[in-house]
C-alpha cells in the first residue's frame, strides 16, 4: 500500500511541479536508480566488485542507436534488444572474469569497461567514433512522440525502476538470492553445499548487464545523441558509489543512494566552484558515520524482526 | 554395503606429501573415524573427497557397485551426489540469519530458478519453500537452535556455531556426512550431546566420516577407525584393536628410543 502511494505521488510530480529543470533532474535520478539497481545485483547480491559497469550501459545505448539508425527499429523493440545484447555481453565478459576474485576481479572488470569504451571510440564506421551517433529516434507511443520533453521519459523510467525494483526484491528473497548471499559470504562453503558458483555469478552479471542495457536504450532515445564519453570510468565509479552509499544489497537503499547522489550536486549549485568539494566531503562523512550505507544493516534488522513475529 | 571407496589416494603440496597412497572403505550406515597427529593429512583427505582440492592420483568412488567417480568433480557436483561436510575452522555465512544458513543447505534438494522466483504462484516454488522451511525448522529444533532462528549466525556461541554448521550440512539430506573435528572447543556437556546426536543420525541410516582428536569421543561411537600419519595410513580396524596397535601408539606418543 505504502509503496503504491509513494509510486503514485512520484508519478504526479510533473503535474504538481511544472518546472522542466526539476523534472529533468528527476528523470536523470531515475535513470541512475535503474543503473544502481542493476549494479546492486552484481555487487550487492552476488558480491562481485565490478568497476566497468558503464560498459553495459554503453552496449544498450549503442544497440538501440544502431538498430534504429541502420534498420529503423522502433524504440519499443530496441528496448528489449538493448537489454538482451547487454545481458549477453555481461555473461560473455563474465566468462573470463569469474575465474578471479576480489581485487583481481575489480581490475579485470575495470579493463573490460575501458575496452568497450575504446572499441566504441575507434569503431568509427559503425559508431561514429568520438563524434558519436546523432539523430536517434525518440520513442513514439500510440502516435505520441516523446520528443525532447523530460516528462514522458520520467514516467517511463519511473515504471521501469518500479518494475525492476520489484524483480530485485523478489530475487533477493528467492532461492537464487539466498545462494548469491551464500557465495558472497563464503564461496568455498557455498560450493560444498551444492551451489554452482560460476553459473550463479554469470547469472548475476547477465541480469545486471541487462538492466544497464535497458537504461542505455532509454538514455539513447532520450538524448537523441550518444558519444563514447557518456560511458567513461567515472560513471562506473559513480554508480558504484550510489550502491555503496545507499546500502549494499538493499533495494530501497540503492534507489535512495542514486537519488541522493544525482540530486545533491544540483542542490549544491549555489556553492559554484566548491560544489564537488562539498559533495566529496559529504560522501566521506557519510562513510565514516554509516559505513553500511543509508539503508544498510538497520533494514536487515527490521526484516529479521518481521520474520520473527 | 560399501558407500565410499578410497584407493591409493595421493596429494602433494610442493615438496610435501600430504597423502601417500591412502586406501580405505566406508561402509554404509557406519561411523568411521579418521585419526592421526596434526598434519597427518586428515583434512586434505576431506578436501579431496569434497572436490575442494584435486588429488594427483588415486580414485574416490561413491555409492553402490562401482559408484560415482568423485576425483575431478567440482564441489557442487559432489554435493549433488549426496555428500555434505563441515569445516575444522567453522565456515558459516556470518551475515545471514541462523535459519538462512540452514536454508542454504537445502539448495541441492530444491530447484526453483529465475522464473519461479518471479512467478511463484502456480509453480512449485511455494510448496518447495514450505518444504525447505519445515525441514530446516525441524533440524534447528533437534539441535536446540530454534530460538535463535532469526539471529545472525555470527551472534551465536562457539558451540552453537558448530551445531549450526552440522544442521546446515544435514539440511542437504546427504547420504554421507564428513565432520571435521566437530567436538573441538565444545564443553563436556556439549560433547556428550554431540555423541548422542551422531548415534541418533546413524540409527536413521546416515553414514558419518569423522575427524576427531578426542579419543573419548572417537572410541565409544566409532564402528571403524582409520589412522593416518605423515600422509600414509598406518592402521585401521575396530576402535579397540586400533588403540592397542603398537604403530598407532608410536605415532601418537613417539617411540621409546627417541622419547
For the stretch B72-103, pLDDT in tens is 999 999 999 999 999 999 999 998 999 999 99
Closest CA to A256 of A266, A265, A244: A244
Contacting residues for A215 by C-beta, under 8 A, at least 6 apart: A31, A34, A35, A38, A57, A60, A160
**Strand segments (E) across A21-145:** 140-141, 144-145
Does residue A9 lie in a domain region? no
Q: Measured between alpha carbons, how far is residue A309 from residues A61, A144, A300, A303, B138 in Å? A: 46, 49, 15, 10, 19
Residue B155 has pLDDT above 60, yes or no: yes
| Nearest residue in chain A measured CA to CA from B95 | A185
pLDDT-wise least confident of A1-10, A286-295, B5-14 = A286-295
Helix axes A150-173, A251-267, angle to 10 degrees: 150
How far A301 CA sits from the closest chain B CA (Å)?
Answer: 9
Contact between residue A259 and residue A157 where contact means Cβ atoms under 8 Å apart: no
Cα–Cα distance for residue pair A121/B210, rounded to 1 Å? 60
A179, A191, A307: residue with CB nearest B75: A191
Q: Does A58 touch chain B (CB under 8 A)?
A: no
Burial (CB < 10 A; 0-12, 13-18, 19+), residue A84, is: middle
Break chain B down into helix, strand, coil percent, rounded to 5.
40, 25, 35
> Are the beta carbons of B117 and A170 separated by less than 8 Å?
yes
Cα–Cα distance for residue pair A192/B51, rounded to 1 Å? 8
For a pLDDT cut of 90, what percent of chain A falls above it?
A: 78
What does the pLDDT read at residue A285? Answer: 87
Closest CA to A247 of A208, A288, A207, A297: A297
Residue A301 has pLDDT above 60, yes or no: no
Residue A230 has pLDDT above 60, yes or no: yes
Does residue A281 lie in a domain region? no
**What is the tens place of the pLDDT at every residue in A66-108?**
999 999 999 999 999 999 999 999 999 999 988 888 889 999 9
What does the pLDDT read at residue B259? Answer: 37
Helix axes A75-97, A197-223, angle to 10 degrees: 140
Residue B258 has pLDDT above 60, yes or no: no
Residue B232 has pLDDT above 90, yes or no: yes
Which residues in chain B have Cβ-Cβ distances shorter than 8 Å to A307?
A: 97, 99, 150
Domains in chain B, please, with CATH?
1-82+174-259 (3.40.50.300), 97-168 (no CATH)
Contact between residue A296 and residue A248 where contact means Cβ atoms under 8 Å apart: yes
> Are the beta carbons of A193 and B84 separated by less than 8 Å?
yes
What does the pLDDT read at residue A107? Answer: 93
Residue B64 has pLDDT above 90, yes or no: no
Q: What are phi and psi of A49, to 5 degrees?
A: -75, 110
For a pLDDT cut of 90, what percent of chain B falls above it?
A: 81
Cα–Cα distance for residue pair A305/B92, rounded to 1 Å? 21
Does residue A12 lie in a domain region? no
C-alpha cell belonging to residue A219? 538514455
Does residue A251 lie in a domain region? no
> Are the beta carbons of A194 and B76 separated by less than 8 Å?
yes
Q: Does B172 touch chain A (CB under 8 A)?
A: yes
Closest CA to B129 of A173, A183, A184: A173
C-alpha cell belonging to residue B117? 522466483
What does the pLDDT read at residue B1? Answer: 86
Question: Residue A170, CB half-sphere, CA atoms under 13 Å: how many?
Answer: 18
How far A245 CA sits from the closest chain B CA (Å)?
Answer: 19
Q: What are phi and psi of B57, to 5 degrees?
A: -140, 175
pLDDT-wise least confident of A33-47, A288-302, B20-34, B214-228 = A288-302
Closest CA to A37 of A295, A301, A296, A254: A254
Q: Does A229 touch chain B (CB under 8 A)?
A: no
The 8-class DSSP code of residue B234 comes to E
Does residue A268 lie in a domain region? no
| Nearest residue in chain A measured CA to CA from B169 | A193
Contact between residue A245 and residue A283 where contact means Cβ atoms under 8 Å apart: yes
> Are the beta carbons of B76 and A197 separated by less than 8 Å?
yes
| Nearest residue in chain B measured CA to CA from A192 | B75
Contact between residue A47 and residue A174 where contact means Cβ atoms under 8 Å apart: no
B79, B91, B150: residue with CB nearest A194: B79
Q: How many helices (H) and strands (E) does chain B have?
A: 10, 10
How far B45 CA sits from the closest chain A CA (Å)?
Answer: 15
Q: Does B95 touch chain A (CB under 8 A)?
A: yes
How far B101 CA sits from the closest chain A CA (Å)?
Answer: 8
Contact between residue B25 and residue B77 where contact means Cβ atoms under 8 Å apart: no
Cα–Cα distance for residue pair A210/B230, rounded to 1 Å? 52
Residue A304 has pLDDT above 60, yes or no: no
Which residues in chain A have Cβ-Cβ distances shorter than 8 Å to B169?
A: 193
Contacting residues for B47 by C-beta, under 8 A, at least 6 apart: B53
| Nearest residue in chain A measured CA to CA from B98 | A304
| pTM for the full predicted model | 0.91
Q: Does A167 touch chain B (CB under 8 A)?
A: yes
A178, A192, A197: residue with CB nearest B85: A192
Order of strands, edge to edge, in the sheet holding B2-13?
B16-27, B2-13, B57-62, B68-69
Q: Does A16 touch chain B (CB under 8 A)?
A: no
Q: What are phi and psi of B222, to 5 degrees?
A: -80, 140
**What is the tens place of the pLDDT at every residue in A251-267?**
999 999 999 999 988 88
Residue with C-alpha cell 547477465? A206
Cα–Cα distance for residue pair A259/A29, rounded to 1 Å? 5
Where residue B202 falls among pLDDT bands split at 50, 70, 90?
very high
What does the pLDDT read at residue A272? Answer: 74
Q: Measured between alpha carbons, how far is residue B22 from residues A79, B33, B127 in Å? A: 59, 15, 44
Does residue A239 lie in a domain region? no
| Nearest residue in chain B measured CA to CA from A307 | B150
Contacting residues for A302 by C-beta, under 8 A, at least 6 apart: none
> Which of A192, A248, A291 to probe the B interface (max B CBs under 10 A)?
A192
Which residues in chain B have Cβ-Cβ distances shorter than 8 Å to A197?
A: 76
Q: How far is CA A290 from the centre of its chain?
A: 22
Tell me how many domains chain A contains: 1
The 8-class DSSP code of residue B68 comes to E
Give strand pairing partners of B59. B7
C-alpha cell belonging to residue B59? 580414485
A176, A191, A196: residue with CB nearest B114: A176
> Are the beta carbons of B116 and A181 separated by less than 8 Å?
no
> Are the beta carbons of A193 and B103 separated by less than 8 Å?
no
Residue A173 has pLDDT above 70, yes or no: yes
Residue with C-alpha cell 546413524? B202
Which residues in chain B have Cβ-Cβ distances shorter than 8 Å to A194?
A: 76, 79-80, 107-108, 172
Host domain of residue A191: 19-231
Burial (CB < 10 A; 0-12, 13-18, 19+), residue B192, is: middle
Where residue B222 falls among pLDDT bands split at 50, 70, 90?
very high
> Are the beta carbons of A182 and B96 separated by less than 8 Å?
yes
Which residues in chain B have Cβ-Cβ distances shorter than 8 Å to A176?
A: 113-114, 117
Contacting residues for A303 by C-beta, under 8 A, at least 6 apart: none
Cα–Cα distance for residue pair B101/A297, rounded to 1 Å? 18
How far A183 CA sits from the closest chain B CA (Å)?
Answer: 9
Q: Does B89 touch chain A (CB under 8 A)?
A: no
> Are the beta carbons of A194 and B96 separated by less than 8 Å?
no
Q: Nearest 5°: CA angle at B115, between A50 and B125? A: 115
SS3 of A111-143: HHHHHHHHHHHHCHHHHCHHHCECCCCCCEECC
Polymer length in residues for chain A: 309
The 8-class DSSP code of residue B204 comes to T
Does residue A246 lie in a domain region? no
> Which of A163, A168, A173, A193 to probe the B interface (max B CBs under 10 A)?
A193
Does residue A178 lie in a domain region? yes
In the predicted model, what is the mean pLDDT of chain A?
Answer: 92
Cα–Cα distance for residue pair B157/B48, rounded to 1 Å? 30
**What is the tens place of the pLDDT at every residue in A177-221?**
999 999 999 999 999 999 999 999 999 999 999 999 999 999 999
Amino acid at each position: 500500500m505504502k509503496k503504491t502511494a509513494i509510486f503514485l505521488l512520484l508519478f504526479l510530480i510533473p503535474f504538481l511541479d511544472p518546472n522542466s529543470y526539476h523534472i529533468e533532474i528527476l528523470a536523470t535520478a531515475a535513470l541512475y536508480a535503474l543503473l544502481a539497481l542493476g549494479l546492486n545485483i552484481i555487487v550487492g547480491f552476488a558480491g562481485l566488485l565490478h568497476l566497468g559497469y558503464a560498459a553495459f550501459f554503453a552496449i544498450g545505448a549503442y544497440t538501440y542507436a544502431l538498430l534504429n539508425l541502420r534498420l529503423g527499429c522502433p524504440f519499443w523493440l530496441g528496448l528489449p534488444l538493448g537489454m538482451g545484447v547487454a545481458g549477453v555481453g555481461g555473461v560473455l565478459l563474465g566468462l573470463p572474469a569469474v575465474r578471479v576474485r576480489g581485487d583481481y576481479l575489480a581490475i579485470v572488470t575495470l579493463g573490460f569497461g575501458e575496452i568497450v569504451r575504446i572499441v566504441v571510440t575507434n569503431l568509427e564506421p559503425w559508431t561514429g567514433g568520438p563524434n558519436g551517433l546523432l539523430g536517434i529516434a525518440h520513442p513514439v507511443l500510440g502516435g505520441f512522440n516523446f520528443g525532447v520533453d523530460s516528462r514522458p521519459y520520467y514516467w517511463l523510467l519511473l515504471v521501469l525502476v518500479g518494475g525492476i525494483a520489484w524483480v530485485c526484491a523478489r530475487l533477493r528473497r528467492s532461492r537464487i538470492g539466498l545462494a548469491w548471499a551464500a557465495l558472497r559470504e563464503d564461496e568455498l562453503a557455498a560450493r560444498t553445499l551444492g551451489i554452482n558458483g560460476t553459473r550463479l555469478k554469470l547469472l548475476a552479471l547477465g541480469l545486471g548487464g541487462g538492466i544497464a542495457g535497458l537504461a542505455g536504450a532509454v538514455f539513447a532515445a532520450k538524448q537523441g545523441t550518444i558519444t563514447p564519453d557518456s560511458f567513461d570510468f567515472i560513471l562506473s565509479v559513480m554508480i558504484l558509489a550510489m550502491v555503496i552509499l545507499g546500502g549494499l544489497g538493499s533495494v530501497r537503499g540503492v534507489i535512495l543512494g542514486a537519488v541522493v547522489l544525482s540530486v545533491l550536486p544540483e542542490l549544491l549549485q549555489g556553492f559554484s566552484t566548491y560544489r564537488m568539494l562539498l559533495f566529496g566531503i559529504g560522501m566521506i562523512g557519510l562513510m565514516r558515520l554509516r559505513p553500511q550505507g543509508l539503508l544498510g544493516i538497520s533494514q536487515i534488522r527490521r526484516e529479521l524482526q518481521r520474520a520473527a513475529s | 554395503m560399501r558407500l565410499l571407496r578410497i584407493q591409493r589416494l595421493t596429494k602433494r603440496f610442493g615438496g610435501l606429501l600430504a597423502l601417500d597412497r591412502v586406501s580405505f572403505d566406508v561402509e554404509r550406515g557406519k561411523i568411521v573415524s579418521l585419526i592421526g597427529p596434526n598434519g597427518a593429512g586428515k583434512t586434505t583427505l576431506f578436501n579431496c573427497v569434497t572436490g575442494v582440492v584435486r588429488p594427483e592420483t588415486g580414485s574416490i568412488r561413491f555409492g553402490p557397485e562401482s559408484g560415482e567417480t568423485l576425483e575431478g568433480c567440482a564441489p557442487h557436483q559432489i554435493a549433488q551426489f549426496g555428500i555434505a561436510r563441515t569445516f575444522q575452522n567453522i565456515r558459516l555465512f556470518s551475515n545471514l540469519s541462523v535459519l538462512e544458513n540452514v536454508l542454504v543447505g537445502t539448495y541441492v534438494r530444491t530447484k526453483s530458478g529465475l522464473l519461479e522466483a518471479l512467478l511463484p504462484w502456480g509453480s512449485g516454488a511455494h510448496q518447495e519453500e514450505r518444504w525447505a522451511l519445515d525441514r530446516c525448522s525441524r533440524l534447528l529444533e533437534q539441535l536446540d537452535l530454534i530460538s535463535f532462528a532469526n539471529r545472525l549466525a555470527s551472534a551465536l556461541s562457539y558451540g552453537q556455531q558448530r551445531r549450526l554448521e552440522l544442521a546446515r550440512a544435514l539440511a542437504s539430506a546427504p547420504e554421507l556426512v564428513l565432520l571435521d573435528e566437530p567436538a573441538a572447543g565444545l564443553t563436556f556437556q556439549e560433547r556428550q550431546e554431540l555423541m548422542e546426536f551422531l548415534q541418533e543420525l546413524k540409527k536413521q541410516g546416515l553414514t558419518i566420516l569423522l575427524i576427531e582428536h578426542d579419543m573419548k569421543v572417537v572410541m565409544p561411537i566409532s564402528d571403524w577407525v582409520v589412522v593416518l600419519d605423515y600422509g600414509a595410513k598406518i592402521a585401521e580396524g575396530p576402535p579397540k584393536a586400533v588403540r592397542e596397535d603398537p604403530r598407532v601408539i608410536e605415532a601418537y606418543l613417539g617411540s621409546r628410543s627417541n622419547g
